[in-house]
Structure 1
């Protein structure tokens, strides 16, 4: 049977449970949830990312709350004090996302469906890798998660860039799980690493390529010179769940292969 009244503090468990056909278990969601749209329409919104309406959550009588990362540790601790069972996942890689889908499925008695879902994503990843081998040249990619301060891409994003056929120009940053450890101390380091593509996904606001191109010294970057600055919407790339492995990867493949066609 598993838990019957689940509150999801982030988007990825909500999307996963809907994909597994277990959406009726969900009694509350994050206010940042956009996938699937019917969840936002029908489920009560009881949390942000770093804060939550503890009283509203308790009114929903959850028997299980799902969150993500140490950033939600204080929310989890408060709920635990009230006797609520909480699962905080902390996956940061593509393999971690796949494992997360399977574990969540097992928790709600949908292990076979979750394995089938994850296996489908694995086939998509393998196909993207195979297609990437056809590229005559892999572009260097600078992925920007935030602009002030400038924060580079997290691990699963860096891995998806590689799967799609690009090379993250800040691979050493990708290994850092916390955003504060991926802040660029010197923006001119991007100039020195000379990316061919700049991809922006500013969580919660629209990416402004003209503002990026206008940064001091950045006119020397190949991506700026060639007008190769593109947005990937944050809901499909910055949540470590199904969206990143499907729509996020598809967007990366389209942008990287599009670059290759223009510059081949």
Structure 2
């Protein structure tokens, strides 16, 4: 790292962008992912230098970053290229709520805002606890969360936890611990057998088509399909393991289960 705290940061996923803005440290950001949309002004203020699994390495290097923030094994090749070019890289890999909160605290410490990051994390913890306590008294509908449609991929770790906090039950809880998408593939027969009361879907940047889900062979008998409870949750608020999932993402789940 060229400087500490780093004055020039490139964020290749959206959750670190949102976290830095929430901490009041957005002036340190010199480049972002094309998927960064929170807060809305980020698209006017920061140059876009990457997608998710690809990045413009020369453009990143031209920004002379002190630090580049990446996420998961899917960005390993990007991270390797930057490391070979002499850039300091921090790769986060949070897959659950505890990991999200740890990321917030760690990133805050890196930029010299540890106290603000701790306060932010504690606010989220208090909110999650309050919602869980309120939701715990009611009925707990069975929820199938679909991250992708072809093949069908079931929910992520933090999504499964948020469903529980909102008062639901994940239809495939054992899969939530699996990090790789290929290990979370489910069959149509498995979903039919599970008989979820609610289907939540967020197709990773692609618009969800509830009518296509309802028209799948044999799905008419599923309670969620029969009762018209197929609900899209927008990708930016649920598929990024960061503040959005703990706020707007959780709120969207609560609304869907109400």
Q: TM-score range by the shorter chain?
A: over 0.9
Once structures 1 and 2 are overlaid, which stretch shifts more, 139-148 or 126-135?
126-135
Paired residue secondary structure (1:230)? strand
Residue aligning to 1:72: 75
- Is 1:151 matched up with 2:158? no
Q: Runs of 5+ in structure 1 lacking a partner?
A: 259-264
Instruction: Report the Cα offset of residue 203 of structure 1.
Output: 1.1
Shift of 1:134: 2.5
- The alignment covers a number of residue pairs equal to 255
- The aligned residue for residue 262 of structure 1 is none
How do residues 158-169 of structure 1 correspond to structure 2 at under 5 angstroms? 158-169=160-171
The 5 Å alignment of 1:168-247 reads 168-184=170-186, 186-247=187-248
Quick one: distance in 1 between partners of 2:228 and 2:189? 18
1:139 paired to 2:141: yes
- Match for 2:22 among 19, 25, 44? 19
TM-score by length of 2: 0.98
Tell me which residue corresponds to 1:34.
37
CA RMSD of aligned residues (A): 0.7
Q: What is the deviation of 1:80?
A: 0.4
| Length-normalised TM-score, structure 1 | 0.95
Unaligned runs of at least 5 residues, structure 2:
none
> What SS is found at the alignment partner of 2:58?
helix
1:105 pairs with 2:108: yes
Stretches (4+) displaced over 2 A: none
CA contact (8 A) 1:191 1:217 kept: yes
CA shift for structure 1 position 180: 1.2
1:130 aligns with 2:133: yes
In the alignment, the residues of structure 1 paired with residue 6 and residue 190 of structure 2 have an alpha-carbon distance, to the nearest angstrom, of 48
